Amino acid sequence: MAITSALCNSFKQEILEGVHASTDTYKIALFNSNSNLSASTTAYSTSGEVEGDGYSAGGITLTGLSTGLSGSTAYLTFSDPSWANSTITARGCMIYNSSKSNKAVAVFDFGQNVSSVNGTFTVDFPGAGASSLIRIA
């Protein structure tokens, strides 16, 4: 099993079809190293999702949605999500659109297992711009 960072192929097509909107509710879920997530992922599933104190299946709602253009690169980013008082280990995450049948947006591999022990687990997103979290160039 593996997590491969990618903007999901289904999301790319759904953008052209007008499925996703900035007013939708986007969530982030954390996954362990037994997960199989990649560009071909089409929807959120609990398979391989982390378990632990301070974390609930489905993850949390993302806030601070920001879109824009940096040169010819369109981008989408959010505020950094965090789970306070958590004891969890995650290898990666998935952003999905809970307003649209939990359709997958993007998956990210952290490059290694990352843990929190009765502390805050935070996913640090890049800032807005050409190197933003989600971008179309």
pTM for the model: 0.95
Locate the domains of the chain by residue range: 6-128
Q: What is the pLDDT of residue 127?
A: 79
- List the end-to-end C-alpha distance of the chain, in Å, as a whole number: 29
pLDDT of the chain, 137 residues: tens digit per residue: 799 999 999 999 999 999 999 999 999 999 999 999 999 999 999 999 999 999 999 999 999 999 999 999 999 999 999 999 999 999 999 999 999 999 999 999 999 999 999 999 999 988 777 777 788 87
Residue reference for tokens 């362990």: 32
The predicted pLDDT at position 115 comes to: 97
